[in-house]
Amino acid sequence: MLLKDKVAVITGAAGINGLGFATARLMASHGAKVVLLDLAQAEPEAAASRLGDEHLGMAVDVTDKASCDAAILAARERFGRIDILVNNAGITQPARTVDITGSDYDRILDVSLRGTLYMSQAVIPTMKAQKSGSIICISSVSAQRGGGILGGPHYSAAKAGVLGLARAMARELGPDGIRVNSVTPGLIGTDIIKGKLTEEKKSEIAETIPLARLGRAEDIGGACIFLASDLSLYCTGITLDVNGGMLIH
């Protein structure tokens, strides 16, 4: 088991069909104790119970620093350490540049970018004390290719900001034994695209992807397992593309 005796915190983790829960399930299968964080209405406690009694679910708002700090304090009190953070929480919105309002901008950037900062700030002191830790930031192929299929320019900007933040943290925190890496998913068949693309459109998109299919949540979870485990001990500041070849660069 690649994560035996490790403690992993995952944000945006309660959606049963989402990237966060798929990652939580895989990490649990590799021996990790998992802390699933999400908004209260997403019922993170119920999601954690699906994985077993040894895991923990808590409500948190990643845009609120006090909420992030309180969640990490509770996780540390329960498990004694924090080895892995997956900054997965994010929201999207289809919009053209001229239609993006100030509130749209704040909402999209706050969850993906501010949330990544606040959660990372919350775990860094513990990881520094341990002299070890792995922070994994979920960005998007849209940050690299200048827009995605569903998200607007503000979503691309938020996810590009995540890449820059992760690289800067990697440079800063490396001497403390903390690795920081990013994953850039392509189009993944999760609830975030439910009802937004017809089956015909999905097939058309799949035909343009070298691996000839949309991604699965487990594809991202597998990449996170690699970056969280000792298999990637000499990897920091990297961006791991998981897009089936949608973007080759």
pLDDT digits (tens, 9 = 90+) for 36-55: 999 999 999 999 999 999 99
Going from the C-alpha of 105 to that of each of 11, 75, 151, 156, 158, the distances in angstroms are 21, 31, 12, 11, 9
Going by pLDDT thresholds of 50, 70 and 90, the confidence category of residue 196 is low
Query: Does position 149 have pLDDT exceeding 80, yes or no?
Result: no
pLDDT for 195: 64
pLDDT for 194: 64
- Residues 170-188 have a mean pLDDT of 97
Predicted model pTM: 0.96
Q: What percent of the chain has pLDDT over 90?
A: 89
138, 87 Cβ separation under 8 angstroms? yes
Q: How do residues 90-139 score in pLDDT, each as one tens digit?
A: 999 999 999 999 999 999 999 999 999 999 999 999 999 999 999 999 99
Kindly tell me the burial class for residue 103, based on how many C-beta atoms sit within 10 Å of its own C-beta (0-12, 13-18, 19 or more): exposed
Mean pLDDT of all residues belonging to the chain: 95
Query: Does position 193 have pLDDT exceeding 90, yes or no?
Result: no
Identity at 167, one-letter amino acid code: R
Query: Does position 12 have pLDDT exceeding 90, yes or no?
Result: yes
3, 231 Cβ separation under 8 angstroms? no
Going from the C-alpha of 179 to that of each of 3, 30, 34, 41, 193, the distances in angstroms are 15, 20, 19, 32, 31
pLDDT for 19: 96
Active site residues: 155
Query: Does position 142 have pLDDT exceeding 90, yes or no?
Result: yes
pLDDT for 203: 87
pLDDT for 234: 98
